[in-house]
Amino acid sequence: MRLGLFLNFEHGEGETNLSCFHRTLDLAVHAEVVGLDELWVSEHHFTPFTQSGSVLPLMAHLAGRTRRIRIGSAAILLPLHDPVRVAEDLATIDILSRGRLDLGLARGGPFPTQYAHFHVVPETAREQSAEATEFLLRLLTERQVSFRGRWYESEDLTIFPRLVQEKLPVWIASTTTAAVAAAAARGHGLMAGHAATLAEIAARRAEYRAAGEGREPDFVVLRSACVADTDAEALGLARPAMERFFSEMRRHANPGAPAQPVSLDKALSTAIIGSPETCRRKIAELAEVVPSGSTVLKLACADPSRAAEVVARFRQELLPASDAGTAGLPPHAEKVPPRLILPASAVGSRLA
């Protein structure tokens, strides 16, 4: 199983944009140095909590800051974008990263302000997302693309530059039967959020295998994560961070609604939080359901000064690089010669 880090660009209480962005980017570089396989950047709009609206520039910057680790979108909310512009930007990022691009795509719900300000009709967003996905993938893989849809069209269009990778790895963040079947037909992977239970992931896997004639999906599974010497210490670090995250996301999804207490029961049941022994058990339980894929850490740590330590412990103690199988290369990616890895001294690790 591969190991990834989720970059949500969450602002601490009173934290400036400059501090948040560079703290998060430094942690991403640290993740490469300690041996993680993947970085995944979120896309959120119109919230002061997680300011990652410009997902493609963030990915391009990471391409320049790193040398080996793969860089993915988790996920691009495609109905909010022009697929032609996205195709050009993705191909550029693939070149800048020397073929380290991973592509995650999603519809963009359940945040109504995003739909409203990008002029997307919520009732047809799912259909628009499916059309945009088809158009985008054709632009990335074909030349002289002629396309006629409800929202998008082109005539003999070829985008430049072209991808470095012969086969771009693609994941779809959707739980609908139709989307899972379409992913299986195209050989794309699936993404599962941090609240997805093992039973729900198993159900998506079964649907994928049925639609894909037994083919196994490559899963990217997001998990709230924190490791410390004891379960109590890890939970003490994780709970305040998780409460703030879910409160802010609820406010973003329901602007103007009165504040309500947050229940963490389901989130904690799916999280990988605890002592090394507890976290190993939870990773093993996930691996039984997901034979091929990534565990992506959505750090739940109220003390930012310990984030680098948590990332390093997951790689060194819980999911060593020797267990990562393809050393960060998903099964449907094209191998590209690596560049030099930055020395640990270049990131100012908090572990020193």
Q: Kindly state whether residue 351 falls inside one of the protein's structural domains.
A: no
State the Cα–Cα distance between residues 344 and 352, nearest whole angstrom.
9
State the Cα–Cα distance between residues 184 and 320, nearest whole angstrom.
30
Q: Kindly state whether residue 225 falls inside one of the protein's structural domains.
A: yes
Q: Kindly state whether residue 194 falls inside one of the protein's structural domains.
A: yes
Q: Kindly state whether residue 223 falls inside one of the protein's structural domains.
A: yes
pLDDT in tens, the chain (352 residues): 999 999 999 999 899 999 999 999 999 999 999 999 999 999 999 999 999 999 999 999 999 999 999 999 999 999 999 999 999 999 999 999 999 999 999 998 778 899 999 999 999 999 999 999 999 999 999 999 999 999 999 999 999 999 999 999 999 999 899 999 999 999 999 999 998 999 999 999 999 999 999 999 999 999 999 999 999 999 999 999 999 998 988 888 787 777 666 778 888 999 999 999 999 999 999 999 999 999 999 999 999 999 999 999 999 999 998 654 444 456 555 554 444 333 333 333 333 3
Give the ranges where the chain is alpha helix by DSSP (H): 17-33, 55-65, 83-96, 112-117, 125-141, 177-186, 198-211, 231-253, 265-270, 276-289, 307-313
Q: Kindly state whether residue 352 falls inside one of the protein's structural domains.
A: no
Q: How do 153-157 and 2-7 pair as beta strands?
A: unpaired
Q: How do 219-227 and 293-299 pair as beta strands?
A: parallel
- Its domain, for residue 275, covers 2-346
Q: Kindly state whether residue 34 falls inside one of the protein's structural domains.
A: yes
Residue with tokens 């790895």: 169
Number of structural domains (the chain) is 1
The CATH code of the domain that includes 59 is 3.20.20.30
pTM, two decimals, is 0.91
